[in-house]
Structure 1
Amino acid sequence: MYEHILVPTDGSDVAEAAVDHALDLAEKYDAEVHALYVVDIDSVNYSLGTEQVDRLKQGRFDEMGELKEQADEATGVVAERGAERGVAIVEHVSGGRPHKVIGDYAENHDIDLIVMGSHGRAGVRRALLGSVTERTLRSTHVPVLVVDYLDED
């Protein structure tokens, strides 16, 4: 049923809960998991210079220091957990508007299912869904499994 599962991640607790669901499904269906970290160009536009934003748009993340470290850490968690469970993982970092990058990635990589958190690190939690999750649901034809995270503390 599922051969390629996409899990967008920002390293937040709710994203990591989505990773667990994606890996469970990947084990069950012998699927490959794609871990995608999206640098939101609109969010970083104000804190970075024009040259750095241009690098992000071109996909040149190796020169981005802290942003690159955050991206590598977030997708690295998926890769580590996948390796522990024998699941093939593809790591990818991209820049742009997150919902658009997620939708384009899904379309261009024959993704069968997107598994994502109900909200991420950025902003105040909305009543139902985070803006990236909501926009992804509205802008793709790929099925989306939305995972929430309940803090046990």
Structure 2
Amino acid sequence: MAPHVLVPLDGSPQSWAAFDYAASNYDAGRITVLHVVNPMEGVYGDYGGGGYYDAQAHERAVERGEELGEEARYRADDAGILATVDLETAVETGATARTILDYAAENDVDHIVMGSHGRSGAARILLGSVAETVTRRAPVPVTIVR
């Protein structure tokens, strides 16, 4: 059975390195690129306790995810793998690590390949690490690319 590889994309150089790694190491099967939109995208506060939701901001974030999927298709075509790899794209909204893990569990993913920003120290403590959370909790093997 051909593997199903999940590659989360956020548009960073690290996530593209992960995609390029997957494209060069999995020349058969299925690769799904997943862009996760922050559910707070489009929510603005006004310091007065109120706030409002700008649906257009959320729509733009979803469109950006779709554009990343299109760019992944161009890269896969340049790598010459589209003849043997079924490339799928997905855009989901949610907490990044949880959404990646849920997608992997619900879509029979065999392997996750993702980029890491390589933060350490205070930045890692304050910002957290999506790659670390996914690695610790994933039900499948995870490859981290820097």
TM-score, normalization by structure 2: 0.77
Determine the C-alpha separation between the residues in 1 that align with 2:62 and 2:42.
16
Structure (1/2) with the larger strand percentage: 2
Find the counterpart in structure 2 of residue 76 from structure 1.
Answer: 70
Find the counterpart in structure 2 of residue 97 from structure 1.
Answer: 95
Larger radius of gyration: 2
Runs of 4+ in 1 over 4 A off after TM superposition: none
Find the counterpart in structure 2 of residue 8 from structure 1.
Answer: 8
Give the letter aligned to residue 120 of structure 2: A
* Shift in Å, 1:103: 0.6
Determine the C-alpha separation between the residues in 2 that align with 1:46 and 1:68.
14
TM-score, normalization by structure 1: 0.74
Deviations 1:6-63 (A, max 9, x none): 0000111111000001111221xx1210010001224x264383473xxxxxxxxx98
Question: Percent same amino acid among aligned pairs?
Answer: 33
Find the counterpart in structure 1 of residue 44 from structure 2.
Answer: 47
Give the letter aligned to residue 37 of structure 2: V
Aligned length: 131
Could you tell me which runs of 5 or more consecutive residues in structure 1 were left unpaired when the two chains were aligned.
53-61, 120-124, 149-153
Question: Is the Cα contact below 8 Å between 2:43 and 2:53 reproduced in 1?
Answer: no
Find the counterpart in structure 2 of residue 59 from structure 1.
Answer: none
Matched, 1:126 2:123: no
- Give secondary structure in 1 for the equivalent of 2:22: helix
Match of 1:37 among 35, 38, 61: 35
